[in-house]
Every structure is written in structure tokens, then in C-alpha cells.
Structure 1
Amino acid sequence: MTTGRDDDALSWDGDDDPTLDHGVAAEPEDERDTPPSSTPPELPKGFTAVGRGSETLGGADAPVAGSVAESSSAAPTVTADRRPMGNGALIAFGVLGGVYALYAIGWLIGGLRLQGRAEYLVTDVMYQGSLWLAVLAPLLWFATTLLLTRASRAWLRFTWLAAGVVLLLPWPFVMIGAIGQ
């Protein structure tokens, strides 16, 4: 396959410029004369190479390929194929976190409004304990879901968060409201 200038679909003024070497920048003269080294470049101590081709780089404290220290290591290396969250996922987590915070406020307001009506069902101490558990339930669900699904796929994390939105609806606030009826 030829990449000459005659095969280009368009020609522009300045195509005859000698600095244009078929779209490839010219290498400095000293870099062309040096042969490629057989040992990989080393990173300073404390640095870790990441990304494509990082396994070929050697660190100052990394074992040389094929050495005794590398072959005798008992602990297998774990290569996590984790990608950072995208902007959409971060915004969705923020929105769901806000929903859960509003749910906690809804449970508090609805529970305090219901307190006078539920005095005959349970004692005051039992009601206060269950009220604060209900207020903390949305916050605990959100934090627990984020913590336990850290290594899972995003759809699983969002499924558990959506299930919490449905299950933890503050019914006292929905039924009685902030003002009451």
C-alpha cells in the first residue's frame, strides 16, 4: 500500500513543503542511531506503572522477569479490571443520595406527627427507638448498598438502590403529611 502524496484525494497549497514527511514527524538524528535496549526502563522507587504496557515496565523494587523472586512469590497478583465511574453514574448516585436524605427527613416529620396518635399502641420509649431506626434506615440502606456493591457492576448497584427507594417510602409522611388532616 502506498502512502505517497500523489494518492491523496485533495491537494492544498504547501503540499510541496519538505518538512512534511508523509504525515510523520521527522525523528531527531540521535534517536535513530540508538538501538532499542533489551531491559525495560525502570521507574523510581515508590512509583507504580498503570495502563497499557505497564507490565513491561520494571520498577526499582520490581523483580526482573524470570528471576527467582518473581517465580517463587506465593501470592497471586490480582488485576482488577475496574474503571472509574462516569459522570452519569456520579450524578445518579447524587440524586439517589438526595432522595434517601429526603426519605430520612420524611420519616422524621411523619413519625413526629404520628407520635400523638400512636401513644395507645406502644410505650414512649419503644416508639422513640423505632422512630430513630426508621429515620436512619434510608441512610443506612444507601451507605450499605454503596459499600457492599463496590466491586459489582453498576446495574446491580442501581437495582439495589432502586429497591430501597421503593421499600423505604416514608408512609407516615405520605399518609399524614407535614400539616396533617
Structure 2
Amino acid sequence: MTSDADDALTWEGDDDRPTQRPASDAEQEPALPRGWNALGKRSETVGRIQDDGTVSDPAERPPLSTPMLLLLGIVGGVYLLYTVGWVIGGLTLQSSAMFLIPEVMYQVALWAAALAPALWFGAVWMLTRRSASWMRVTGLLGGVLLLVPWPFVMTGAVGA
């Protein structure tokens, strides 16, 4: 039996170790061509077939498409405006709400509402990393509908 240290003393071809045979098509990891997405169990193990015929690493995620990047930018801007709306609307209502609840409780609720759009965006981004694009879009647009800053809409510039 030879070891790796003995390799320097042997000629190419007179190796006693068994040679590795190439994997057959049935033993290769699954791979999909461009434009196809694997979904379901073990979908993260499916590689991509490149233009030159090689198979890429399955852990490598394809970049976001242009429409998805535009949607992320627009929805991120809307969420930023929602944060500003919650702060302005909440500060406007602060004097009229002081007779109902203590100031500390109002401040906690105000800042939780102001942080909600950023937390929603981050949660949707992290929880839909391995999901289909339509699930990410649904989560982001659902947040646009659920997180409307009603104090600003009702008493701010829109409601005046």
C-alpha cells in the first residue's frame, strides 16, 4: 500500500490505487437550465447549467431581476414614507391622547408603529429568501396595505 508521501517516488501510471471513475448521469447532482427554478424539498441542492455547459454551485443564488429590484426600491421608499407618516401623525395626536393613556405607553406605541415598516420589510426579505418571487411580492404589497399611517392620513395634510 502506498501513501501520499510515496507519490514522489512513483511514475505516472504505475499507481496501485483504484482510479476514480467518472460519475454517470444518474449519480450527478441535478441541475436546471437558465430560466427554470427548483421549488420544494431539497431545491437548494439543485445547481444551474451555465452557457458553457458546466454546472454551477447550488448554494450560489442568481441575482435579482430588474423588475424585482425596481419593486424593492419602490416599496422600500413607500415604507420609508410610512415611517415618517407614523412619526408625524403620532406626534400630532400626542397632546390629545395624553388624557387616555400614560405618556410612556404612548411613546412606546409610537416608536413601535414607526419601526413597523422597517421590521416588516426585513422580515419579508429574510423569510422569503428561498421562496418564489411571487411570495416576496405578496408579502411586500401586503405590508403596504396593512401599515398605512392612519394618524397621518386622518389628521395630517391629507385629512385636513
Q: So what's the TM-score if we normalise by structure 2?
A: 0.63
Q: Which residue in the other structure is 1:127 paired with?
A: 106
2:86 and 2:149 in contact (8 A); partners too: yes
- Are the structure 2 counterparts of residues 179 and 87 from structure 1 closer, same or farther at C-alpha, using a change threshold of 3 Å? closer
Counterpart of 1:150, as a letter, is R
The CA RMSD over aligned residues, in Å, is 2.5
Q: Deviations over 1:123-161 (max 9, x none)?
A: 000000000000000110011111111111111001001
* Structure (1 or 2) with the greater helix fraction: 2
Does residue 92 (structure 1) correspond to residue 40 (structure 2)? The answer is no
Indicate whether 1:79 and 2:34 are aligned. Answer: no
* SS at structure 2 position matched to 1:116: helix
TM-score by length of 1: 0.56
1:147 to 126, 133, 140: 126
Partners of 2:153 and 2:159 within 8 A in 1: no
Residue 179 (structure 1) shift: 9.0
Displacement of 1:51 in angstroms is: 4.8
For residues 120 and 154 of structure 1, the distance between their equivalents in structure 2, rounded to whole angstroms, comes to 46
Residue-pair matches, total: 112
Secondary structure of 2:73's aligned partner: helix
- Structure 1: which 5+ residue stretches go unaligned? 1-38, 41-49, 56-77
Runs of 4+ deviating beyond 4 Å: 178-181
Matched, 1:54 2:33: no
Matched, 1:165 2:144: yes
Deviation at 1:109, TM superposition (A): 0.2
Mapped partners of 1:180, 1:163: distance in 2:
23
How many Å separate the matches in 1 of 2:127 and 2:97?
36
